[in-house]
Structure 1
Amino acid sequence: MKLHRPTKDELFAAAGRTVPDLLAPGLRVLFCGINPSLYSAVVGMHFARPGNRFWPSLHASGFTPRRLLPSEQGELLALGLGITNVVDRATASADQLDAADYAQGAKSLARKVERCRPAFLAVLGLGAYRTAFARPKARFGPQEETLGDTRLWVLPNPSGLNASYQLPDLARLYGELRRAAEPR
């Protein structure tokens, strides 16, 4: 299914909207973006902006058997995967969020994790994790703390704006989580 390409007016009007979470009880991994882009808010799908490398990273790391499109996000649930965000409201960029947004988002996220109890919560963005969870020295990878029984893992943000990590880097780092989250 080809996504509707939003107009400038539609993007402008999407500020503050939300994208429904993709949640189910007992997920292997709940991926957690920073917050929805305006593009994602218009089309109603996570990581929908062209150039976002979330979907290619999931496939290249072995989480999905093929590269899914944002319109196929529902297929993740059958694979034990879900999607949410630290902050639910869409903005033009994550720079428009402040410490209070992240703190409130962390509380909301903790409630979501308590309800669906995923094995892992993968926060996609080191800065977002550091701010939301008040862990200024956190690094990528598994974290010492947990949310209940849910293990925390930090991965690079797959946004095309994050030039520090190319697809091979993302695939390797996402693959480390995939191996840790495989059923034993």
Structure 2
Amino acid sequence: MTGFTPQELQAARDRVVPDVAAGGLSVLFCGINPGLMSAATGHHFARPGNRFWPVLHLSGFTPRVLKPSEQQQLLAYGLGITNVVARASARADEVGDEEFREGGRLLTERVERLRPRWLAVVGITAYRTAFGERKAVIGPQERTIGETRIWALPNPSGLNAHWTARTMAEEFARLREAAGVPDRRS
């Protein structure tokens, strides 16, 4: 399935996957924290079954489904990826509330420096915890970081059965339209 042994995946625990980011992006997508597959490969949303890359295409952000190994191509579309918490873990529930709050503080500094038009946090629970917004719902948020607007998106993990790829793509497309990003599907 993955090309990695269980031992190799465990060895990736606590690694950091470098951001795909630059100043002035239209949308900076923000994951919860890297999984072990992402840490082992060095690519965001790398676990088979994660719906981020297909949903990014279905929503019109990219002209085709990119592979995780093609993540640098996002920059050409004015898009990037970071995480609330930088260190990799097997499951997001291995990250405590205090680490999420510290991640939110560090993320705020990163956004202040990079100044994307939108920060899109993929995972409502991570957003709520990192920013102390316990009643936040999916969609645009009132909070801003400087002039950067924030949108909370559903978590694209295959474990998030509440959202289908189609319904997730609809929400991602709402963000794409709000950000003024053209529909890049052929």
Fold-level similarity (TM above 0.5): yes
From the superposition, tell whether residues 183 and 7 of structure 1 become closer, same or farther in structure 2 (CA, over 3 Å): closer
Report the TM-score when normalising by structure 1: 0.96
Q: Which residue of 2 aligns with 1:118?
A: 116
Q: Which residue of 2 aligns with 1:175?
A: 173
Instruction: Provide Cα deviations, 1:18-49, integer angstroms capped at 9, x if missing partner.
Output: 10000101000000000000010000000000
Q: Which residue of 1 aligns with 2:149?
A: 151
Report the TM-score when normalising by structure 2: 0.95
Instruction: Provide Cα deviations, 1:62-120, integer angstroms capped at 9, x if missing partner.
Output: 00011100011000000000000000000000010111110110111011101110000
Q: Which residue of 1 aligns with 2:4?
A: 6
Q: Which residue of 2 aligns with 1:163?
A: 161
8 Å CA contact 2:61, 2:181 repeated in 1: no
Q: Write the letter of the residue equivalent to 2:165.
A: L
TM-superposed CA distance for 1:183, in Å, is 5.5
**Secondary structure of the residue that 2:121 maps to in structure 1?**
strand
**Secondary structure of the residue that 2:161 maps to in structure 1?**
coil
Alignment of 1:129 onto 2:127: yes
Q: Which residue of 1 aligns with 2:59?
A: 61
Root-mean-square deviation (CA, aligned residues, Å) is: 1.3
Q: Which runs of 5+ in 1 are unaligned?
A: none
State how far apart, in whole Å, the 2-side matches of 1:60 and 1:98 are: 32
8 Å CA contact 1:4, 1:43 repeated in 2: no
Q: Write the letter of the residue equivalent to 1:95.
A: D
TM-superposed CA distance for 1:5, in Å, is 2.0
Moved over 3 A (4+): none
Aligned identity (percent) is: 58
Q: Which runs of 5+ in 2 are unaligned?
A: none
TM-superposed CA distance for 1:16, in Å, is 0.5
Report the number of matched residues: 182
Q: Write the letter of the residue equivalent to 2:23.
A: P
State how far apart, in whole Å, the 2-side matches of 1:104 and 1:16 are: 16
